[in-house]
Amino acid sequence: MSKTILITGGAGFIGSHVVRRFVNRFPDYQIVNLDALTYAGNLENLKDIEQKDNYIFEHGDITDDSFIKNLFEKYRFDGVIHLAAESHVDRSITDPLAFAKTNILGTMILLNAAKELWKDNFDGKRFYHISTDEVYGTLGETGLFTEETSYDPNSPYSASKAASDHFVRAYGETYGLPYVISNCSNNYGPNHFPEKLIPLCINNILTKKPLPIYGDGKYTRDWLFVIDHAIAIVLIYHEGKNHETYNIGGFNEWQNIDLVKELCKQMDEKLGNEPGTSEQLITFVKDRPGHDLRYAIDATKLNKELGWYPSVTFPEGLSQTIDWYLENKEWLDHVTSGDYRNYYEQQYKV
């Protein structure tokens, strides 16, 4: 194998798409997928590649220092693509310490392991840290987040990701560690755990449950199709400049209420419902604390320097996403019932 790359969080939503793309596109790379298999890690996401010769799964926690040291010694990684993170804002409000442990301490343990392994020769090595646009805080009705926007996190989740970004940069400045960082907007697409807005609403429409919308529904997000994100990650890993940050966005802002109405419209069409049927399930609920009004990414740097641009419009990507959930109801049933957790025991006999 020409390279051995560690991908953390590779059984999760975004991570599984990144793992699949690397495994399929680069058969001469050894891809090691490390995941703790918490509630959002699901090996069923990767059933189509689990028998590939260049794919290895390792079950472990990035906060386990001795495990990570041994893993780096075992595989002698040439690169790290770090996606493992606690990522749901609502959960961070309930349990902020869990986010500090995974997102800050876990990142530092990985940085230390990479630094020690590569300290004698950084040539051909790269630590790629995937972050979020939420580190920038909130926007008013105008403006965009750029790579120069000051950090201003407002939730325990975004604060923990901001801290991890700073540690990555600090290791670059202090030790010369070769790194790149990307900050992405809200992802959507196949395999998304149904606690996030789009898969939650798809599942609730199928089960005829309310569609909960925070506050007045006017919170605005930039939405990025997960496969386009995976394409960008592969590109940045190979062609991004060391010690640079790249913002990845969909050029695609939607208010939550408008997004849900578009989703309802498409669901009714695909399910053969009367127009407006699903919209009747929309229910406005109490707002969450510290809710950022608007995020919007300026991905011009990535577009101009590396030639990346989203491949689908939001209605197209949303249609593909809905189709995937309708065609994979067994996956959705396993996730919502918790049965997906049995797959690891069945597959790996532990």
Q: Which residues participate in catalysis according to the annotation?
A: 133-134, 157
Report the half-sphere exposure of 315 (CA within 13 A, side-chain side). Answer: 5
Query: Residue by residue, what is the 3-state secondary structure of 75-112?
Result: HCCCEEEECCCCCCHHHHHHCHHHHHHHHHHHHHHHHH
For tokens 């680069």, the residue is 26
Query: Tell me, what amino acid is at 202?
Result: I
d(CA 20, CA 10): 9
The crossing angle, in degrees rounded to 10, of helices 314-327 and 329-337 is 80
- Other Cβ atoms less than 10 A from the Cβ of 114: the count is 26
Residues 6+ apart with CB under 8 A from 61: 36, 67, 106
Q: What is the 3-state secondary structure (H, E, C) of 204-223?
A: HHHCCCCEEEECCCCCEEEE
| Cα 265 → chain centroid | 26
Around Cβ 269, how many Cβ atoms within 10 Å? Answer: 12
